[in-house]
Every structure is written in structure tokens, then in C-alpha cells.
Structure 1
């Protein structure tokens, strides 16, 4: 009788332990832009594009590396692999992107964010693919996206051929192509917080309005439309309008895409496009925001 009770107790304890769900974990994903500084695709620990990996950049930070010379559609599977790995099941993600990384996360959410995903175990292999943990879900668990000088609206430097045209990604960065690549309003209710830099001088004759030497405010501000426009800081003359902060439309009446909000507008023209591999420029501003909010 005592043996029977003991066996029942062990069985009950085992059942209870099996019923305890895995602890939920938050991750911070960093998606780089064009080229990517020689990073290793699939290696989530390679932060060489961004800067020292010892710097605070959000809880459980992961570098989502891809071949930044290739077209968005060709390399987007790497972003989806990372989202499957770390943003399914009980796990949630904060996402930070730079430049063409804006196109990558926007493309993934718009075209695949409503698809059925296998829940993964957050243990990637050498290719950046995680094993199945059992079960499925629709889309991914993403809290928000911080966007450093986003190229979701393309760049006139691609329009005019000022970038090396041998890289396939340049064709995706043509303003009309970038804006027509997917429905930018479809974010699956995930908020994009845009950080727009304006320390631009070298290409002021090509990039309309305020720019950071790579992308103009119409793109970095998440402004809707089929092509770019001339937008500036308050009080600047000879512009088509002011890029307003928050979700408000520009002073010219142009609306932002749905679920897009300007969190930072570089009124002092202090920040450039590049992070210089040391968390500088506008990526540095985003890093500070992520470090304070992604926990």
C-alpha cells in the first residue's frame, strides 16, 4: 500500500513538472542595412557592423546578419529565421534596425507576419536556424521596432546611380521600388519608432529636404506616398514641409504610414547616417533608446 502511494506521488509530481511551461525570455534583435560591414550571416553574436558587443544594447541582444549586397527578397529568409528563433512561443522580441534593415523587417511583417510559424527553441545552429519546440502560431511576438534612419521609402542616391550599381540591393533602394515593394501600412499592429538624422552635406543637391548623406526625411520619417518629397526641420526654408514628430502628418499634409511615429528628429543636424562600427551617428541614438526600454 505504501509503495502504491509512493508511486502515485512520484507520478503526480512528474506530471506537475511536465506541466510547468518554459520560462519566457525577451530578446533584442539588431538588423543592419546595406552591405553590413562584412558580418557573418547566421551568426547572432557578430556585432562587428554595429560596434563593441560589450556595449549595452537591449536585453539578450542578437545581431541579425544578412548579405547586405543582395536584394531584400533574396535575403529576407535570414530575418524570418531570427524572428522564428527568438520571437515565438513564450519569447518576445524588441527589434532595432538601420537603413535597409527597415525594408527587411517591414517586408517580413507585411508579407509573412500573418503566416503560420513553427515555434522554435531559441537554440540556433551554425546557419542561424533553430530547432522546433513543438506547436505553431501566427506571426511573431514583437513588442516594437526602433528605426535608425530607415530606408523604407528608398533613397534618391539609388535613383541617380550614386551608389555602386553592381550591388543588387541598390535596385531595391530606388524610391518608387522601395515604396511599392510591400504594403508599408501592414505592420501587424507593431509600432515603428523612427529616428531621423539630418547631418548631411555631400549629397544635398540630390537628396531632397533634410538628409543624413544617405537617406532623406521622407524615408527616415516613415512618410507615406509612392515617391519621395522634400521635408525639413521646423523653420527651414525652401522645403515642401516640416517633418512633424509623433504620428502627426507633415505640415504639407502628407501622412505617415500606419503604426509609424517619429520619436527623434535631428533638429540640431548633429547625427550622420553611419554608426562607423562604433555605435556612432543615428545608430548610437537608437542604441541609447533601446538600452533604456528593451528589458
Structure 2
């Protein structure tokens, strides 16, 4: 190489070194809690709702903490803050939702998933809000989401709320009545994103309130994403007195469909999984967490 070519190469290297480095793309896993008190709102590293924070739960895991008692509409902005923070620009998200976290993400996708969102700097402040990524930051339509996994999904409601088994003054309990939550938003409008559902079946003595198979809190009609205006009785295949909840996206026994882009990944044929986390990522959340760990990379 002659000296002139060498000088040009060195000059190009110097010029490239002087250019600002663009932010690198990152993937995040957002965990959206269900009913009940938990982690601090705005603190994406507080996993106290779920269990030990050091447990592996997907790449770049973030705890999307909302208050667990407020209405879906009233608390949904907290979830949007997280989606705006971590799922815009060159960043992508995996979503893991539990119980009432299911209608939280469904409500936001149906009502705001087609809206313009500012591309942010992915650096949340103390309130869990991220600033636009510099002056004149661009906007995009909706969020960058790869998939959604849901354990004990409550987007179809629960008959426990219908029966007043929870505090009747709690806004979330009123929202989770079966006919109320099913009419609250368009469950079929997922913006083309797949919901992978995990349905537990280890019920208990008060399961007579819940039709078909259940995990003590939600029945298969909700956890399995069964479409319709109200709940119905769905069970495991060996139960002769109840229609089968089918795996995948296919219609259930009797022809009742699931909501669009809803697929049953786990039906608890062995009746092993309850609803409850037990402070340690347990219940039906356990197999979902294992799948998130294996696929949210």
C-alpha cells in the first residue's frame, strides 16, 4: 500500500471515530402483573409481586407494576408508559402478562395500538416515564412487540367477580365481571400479535362458582381466550360432561371460536397448576415463565 492510500485510510478512520455512535437496539421482556398489591409503580426492577427478582425471566426483564385494584382504563396509562419506554424505535419487546394483566395489554393494543407513539430514549425516570429520544424525535404507529404470553388470563372475566366474592367497591373487581370485561374493548383487535395462553385447572372447593375447568380464580373460558359475550363451561378432554378447550387457535368442541390471534399453548390436562404465584413465580405462571426464559432472547 503506497503512502497516499495509507493517508486516505487513516483520515477515513479518524472521521468515522468522530461520528456520534447511535444507540444500539435492545430487546426487553415486560412482565404485567394481575390483581393485588405488588411492586412499586414506576420501578421496573421491582419484581416483588412475582417472587425473587434474580429469577431468569427473559431478556432485559422489566416489571410493569400497576396498582392491582384500579380500573383497567384508569391504570392502563402505566402500561403505556412502559410500552413507550422499551418498545419503540430500534427496541423490541416480549410481553408476559398474568391474570388481569391480560386485559391490561389487550385494552391498550385495541385502543392505542394504532396511535402515534414517540420514540423514546429507553431511560425511565422515577415515575417510569421515558423522554423522547432527542429534539425532533420521530413517532411511530403503535409498539414493537414480538409476542404476548398470558398465564391465567382474565380478559374473559371471572364468575367470582360476578358473584361479588371480592370487595364490591374495588374498581378492578367490577371490571372483571364476565359481561363487563368482554364488552370493554375489541378482544379480536390484537394488531396482529399472537396471544399464547396458559390455562390452569387445579381448582378448589369453591370452584362450583366457576364453569368447567378452573385454576381457583378464572375458568378455562377466560384463560383459554374463548370468544363470545359471556363465559361458558370448557374442560380437559377426559371430562365427558363438558366441552373441550382445544389447543392452538382452532375452535373449541362445539364450534365456539377463540378470539383472533389467541392460541392455547398449555391446557392443564394433569390439573397441576393453580392461579397463585405464592411469592415464587408458581402456579400456572411457572410453565409460562419457563417458556419466556427459553424464547425471549
Alignment of 1:73-84 (within 5 A): 73-84=73-84
* CA deviation after TM superposition for structure 1 residue 187, in Å: 0.4
Q: Does 1:151 find its partner at 2:190?
A: no
Q: Secondary structure at the match of 2:174?
A: helix
Q: Does 1:278 find its partner at 2:261?
A: no
* CA deviation after TM superposition for structure 1 residue 203, in Å: 2.2
Please name the residue that 2:246 is paired with. Answer: 244
Please name the residue that 2:3 is paired with. Answer: none
- The one of 199, 202, 208 equivalent to 2:202 is 199
Q: Secondary structure at the match of 1:204?
A: helix
Structure 2: where are the runs of 5+ without partners? 1-7
Cα separation, partners in 2 of 1:153 and 1:11, compared to 1, 3 Å: same
Deviation track 1:115-152 (CA, whole Å, cap 9, x = no partner) reads 00000111000000001112110000000000001001
In structure 2, C-alpha distance between the alignment counterparts of 1:135 and 1:277, rounded to whole Å: 41
Question: RMSD of aligned C-alpha atoms?
Answer: 1.8
Please name the residue that 1:25 is paired with. Answer: 26
What is the TM-score when the length of structure 2 is the normalising length?
A: 0.93
Mapped contact 2:207–2:216 kept (Cα < 8 A): yes
Please name the residue that 1:122 is paired with. Answer: 122
Structure 1: where are the runs of 5+ without partners? none
* CA deviation after TM superposition for structure 1 residue 11, in Å: 8.6
In structure 2, C-alpha distance between the alignment counterparts of 1:141 and 1:219, rounded to whole Å: 26
In structure 1, C-alpha distance between the alignment counterparts of 2:51 and 2:16, rounded to whole Å: 48
Q: Does 1:268 find its partner at 2:270?
A: yes
* CA deviation after TM superposition for structure 1 residue 77, in Å: 0.2
Q: Secondary structure at the match of 1:203?
A: helix
In structure 2, C-alpha distance between the alignment counterparts of 1:77 and 1:169, rounded to whole Å: 15
Please name the residue that 2:225 is paired with. Answer: 222
Q: Does 1:259 find its partner at 2:272?
A: no
Superposed structure 1 runs of 4+ greater than 6 Å apart: none
Q: Secondary structure at the match of 2:46?
A: coil
What is the TM-score when the length of structure 1 is the normalising length?
A: 0.94
* CA deviation after TM superposition for structure 1 residue 12, in Å: 4.3
Please name the residue that 1:44 is paired with. Answer: 44
* CA deviation after TM superposition for structure 1 residue 291, in Å: 0.3
